[in-house]
Amino acid sequence: MSYFLAFAVGGLLCAAAQILIDKTRLTPARILVAYVVIGVFLGAVGLYRPILDFAGGGAATPLTGFGYVISKGVKESVDRDGLVGALTGGLTASAGGITAALFFGLLASLVFRSKPKK
Amino acid sequence: MDNGTYKKYVETRAKKSPTLKNCLRAFLCGGAICTAAHALKSLYLCFGMPDETAGMLTSVTLIFAAVLLTGIGVFDKIAKHAGAGTLVPITGFANAVASSAIDAKTEGFVLGVGAKIFTIAGPVILYGISAGVIYGVIYYVCRML
Amino acid sequence: MHGIMKPDRKIMIISTASVAGREEEAGPLGGSFDLTDTKDDSFGMKTWEKAESEMQRLALGLALSKASLTDDDVGALFAGDLLNQCVGSNYGLSGYKIPYFGLYGACSTAAEGIMLSALTCDAMPVRAAAVTSSHYCAAERQFRYPLEYGGQRTPTAQWTVTGSGAFIVSSVEEDAEKRRGTRVPVITEWLPGYVVDRGITDVNNMGAAMAPAAADTIKRYFDGGHSPEEFDMIVTGDLGHEGSDILCELLLSERIDISKVHTDCGKLIYDAAAQDKHAGGSGCGCSAVVMAGHILRNICDGVLNSILFIGTGALMSPLALNQGSSIPGIGHLLHIKGEVL
């Protein structure tokens, strides 16, 4: 059942973005930015945690989940360190994902080269 | 025909993207990636990892897979059909980072790869983090009251 | 007088050459190119920009050797491409000792270069060369996304042609003497276009940005006393399927019906059913390779007699677009006839 929920919620979040791409002038980069910011917002108002509990990977994997991680990190840091936590919490919580993407990206640029397309 | 009329005429006659078909594909592909992530996390939890580490490692695994598929020139072929299905999950972020890096390699590793790797990832990180800072300040003030 | 220019001298296109990539080779005109890289479109170079330069070098070299000419025989070279600072032309043609003029006319560069060559040849008996190119991989990097980026195209999006075309234009008496009795494409009229901006901002619908410019030039030409029936073919540069339909409809609303004789290089170059190229080909290379290979050959063979070629260009700048500007278009018209000298 949890797998079905992950599939359905994750799929719906993607389908919603597809409608935005096809029906509006939003470029993919703007969609990504919007999804992260929406994730931060939903996390901040306490709405994302229930979705995450409900859908697991379906809510954690889309970029809204990335935004939620940032908001969660900020909240925990502020609780622990006070105002300075607002500056440290976001990057600390999302450090794993960002560093992995950048470092693997660098490795990929060492190994691969872009190919012509069909 | 004035410019406004022309623009409307062009927009009405342009063949539209097949939204229904695209949405179905995005739903199926996005759903599949999320299900895989869900399974991965369950697996990592089975190994006795704490919840947060398992979640992070799941993201890292997906990022690695997306970067690898980008490098061997397969990701864009899948994304052509999946659309938002590969874009919205963390795989889209990883593809944006890796494709920019691979492409910029011909301009060197500092101003090429080093700078261009952030072309699409930069805005995502910037606005994600900034939204977090704003939330942190508001949260701090609210807690004070 | 509508700005139509007629030369006093006989201006001949004495040699052409086309170099293209593997997707173009796989298309319906595949057999018409002089040289193709069927392996990986790199032409043996390390970067896509250098590959584009190499295509121009090869194309001009081929065009010269076909007419048994050396650098010294050509008085002027007009060349351009889509890349920033026109690196395709500047680097590709740096080995030639021919007076060089760099152009930027976006996808209309082939027509612009031929037109300027014709102007030069009308002023004095001389040979002039026009060279242009585009490379899908280099253009994607500069104008859209990284090559490996996973994105979707809309149905009106066009595909940048990998290819380079070179044309040698001459008004030298000796060239006419040498070709006595053979059919040669002769440039009899030309009409430069205006920059026309109808407020289109969609980079995935370049056809719509260019069609009004092409329509404007064609209308001005027909206002000068001609009618579409006089021509075997009215061929536009790279309006693609979408832009071609718009052009025909725009002109029809001006009571000019070109639909029976109109075709477009962007429609001809790829197989719409078999190749996933959406609205067709675009880029400087599109009209250059189709004209240099397929169409001018048909004129020499007598299949076509009198044609209008309208080189269309979308003068798009990512920087200006980000600042909120729209995409201006241009259309340069050439009247080319097959003549037995």
User: Which has more confidence, C3 or B85?
Assistant: B85
C208 CB-near residues (< 8 Å, 6+ apart): B10, B14, C156, C200, C202, C242, C243, C246
All residues of chain A having their beta carbon less than 8 Å from the beta carbon of residue B39 are: 3, 57
pLDDT at C4 over 60: yes
The tens-digit pLDDT sequence of chain B (145 residues) is 899 999 999 999 999 889 999 999 999 999 999 999 999 999 999 999 999 999 999 999 999 999 999 999 999 999 999 999 999 999 999 999 999 999 999 999 999 999 999 998 899 999 999 999 999 999 999 999 8
C149 contacts B96? CB cut-off 8 A: yes
pLDDT tens for C285-331 read 999 999 999 999 999 999 999 999 999 999 999 999 999 999 999 99
Q: Which residue of C has its CA nearest to A18?
A: C152
Answer yes or no: is A116 within a domain.
Answer: no
Query: Contact, C114 vs C187, CB < 8 A?
Result: yes
Measured in angstroms, the CA of B27 and the nearest CA of chain A are apart by: 4
Q: Which of C9, C33, C26 is nearest to C127 (CA)?
A: C9
All residues of chain B having their beta carbon less than 8 Å from the beta carbon of residue A75 are: 135-136, 139
CB-closest option in B3, B86, B100 to C199: B3
Angle between helix A63-81 and A85-111 (nearest 10): 140
C149 contacts B100? CB cut-off 8 A: yes
Q: Residue B75: exposed, middle, or buried by beta-carbon count in 10 A (0-12, 13-18, 19+)?
A: buried
**A 86-105 near B (Cβ less than 8 A):** 86-87, 89-91, 94, 96-98, 100-102, 104-105
Query: Could you name the CATH architecture of C11-175?
Result: 3-Layer(aba) Sandwich (3.40)
Range A44-66 average pLDDT? 96
The count of structural domains within chain A is 1
CB-closest option in C146, C245, C250 to B99: C146
Q: What mean pLDDT, rounded, does chain C reach? A: 96
pLDDT band at C183 (very low <50, low <70, confident <90, very high): very high
Question: What is the sign of the dihedral through the CA atoms of A106, A107, A111 and A117?
Answer: negative
* For chain B, domain boundaries: 19-144
Range C212-223 average pLDDT? 97
> Number of residue pairs across A and C with CB atoms under 8 Å?
27
- What DSSP string describes B25-65? HHHHHHHHHHHHHHHHHHHHHHTT--HHHHHHHHHHHHHHH
CB-closest option in C49, C150, C199 to B86: C150
Which pair of structure tokens corresponds to residue B109? 């590793």
A107 contacts B89? CB cut-off 8 A: no
C40 contacts A114? CB cut-off 8 A: no
Query: Contact, C84 vs C75, CB < 8 A?
Result: no
Answer yes or no: is A26 within a domain.
Answer: yes
Measured in angstroms, the CA of C105 and the nearest CA of chain B are apart by: 23
Q: Which of C137, C141, C201 to mutate: most A Cβ within 10 Å?
A: C137
* For chain C, domain boundaries: 11-175, 187-340
Whole-number Å distance between alpha carbons of B51 and B57: 10
Answer yes or no: is A118 within a domain.
Answer: no
Measured in angstroms, the CA of A1 and the nearest CA of chain B are apart by: 11
B124 contacts A63? CB cut-off 8 A: yes
Whole-number Å distance between alpha carbons of A52 and C27: 50
B92 CB-near residues (< 8 Å, 6+ apart): A28, A32, A63, B66, B79, B86, C150
**B 12-71 near C (Cβ less than 8 A):** 13-17, 22, 70-71
A21 contacts C148? CB cut-off 8 A: no
Phi and psi torsions of C127, nearest 5°: -110, 140
Q: What is the CA C90 to chain-centroid distance, rounded? A: 18
Interface check for A113 against chain C (CB to CB < 8 A): the answer is: no
Interface check for C136 against chain A (CB to CB < 8 A): the answer is: yes
Range C21-26 average pLDDT? 96
Q: What is the CA C91 to chain-centroid distance, rounded? A: 20
Res A25: pLDDT? 75
Neighbours of B, requiring at least 3 CB pairs below 8 Å, are A, C
Res C7: pLDDT? 97
Answer yes or no: is A71 within a domain.
Answer: yes
Query: Contact, B121 vs B93, CB < 8 A?
Result: yes
**C187-340 topology per CATH:** Peroxisomal Thiolase; Chain A, domain 1 (3.40.47)
Interface check for C41 against chain A (CB to CB < 8 A): the answer is: yes
How many helices, marked H, and strands, marked E, lie in chain A? 6, 0
Domain hosting A34: range is 2-111
Q: What ipTM was reported for this prediction? A: 0.94
Interface check for A31 against chain B (CB to CB < 8 A): the answer is: yes
Measured in angstroms, the CA of A50 and the nearest CA of chain B are apart by: 16
Q: Which residue of B has its CA nearest to C46?
A: B106
pLDDT at C1 over 80: no
pLDDT tens for C220-270 read 999 988 999 999 999 999 999 999 999 999 999 999 999 999 999 999 999
Angle between helix A2-23 and B19-46 (nearest 10): 140
C151 contacts A116? CB cut-off 8 A: no
Q: Could you give the percent of chain C with pLDDT greater than 70?
A: 99
Phi and psi torsions of C209, nearest 5°: -75, -30
pLDDT band at C2 (very low <50, low <70, confident <90, very high): low
Cα–Cα separations (whole angstroms), residue A85 to B53, B145, C100:
21, 18, 61
B10 contacts C246? CB cut-off 8 A: yes
Answer yes or no: is A89 within a domain.
Answer: yes
pLDDT band at A26 (very low <50, low <70, confident <90, very high): confident
Which pair of structure tokens corresponds to residue C208? 């719509």
Q: Which residue of C has its CA nearest to A27?
A: C151
Phi and psi torsions of C75, nearest 5°: -90, -20
3-state secondary structure of C336: strand
Measured in angstroms, the CA of C137 and the nearest CA of chain A are apart by: 6
B103 contacts C199? CB cut-off 8 A: no
For residue C216, the tally of other CB atoms under 10 A from its CB is 21
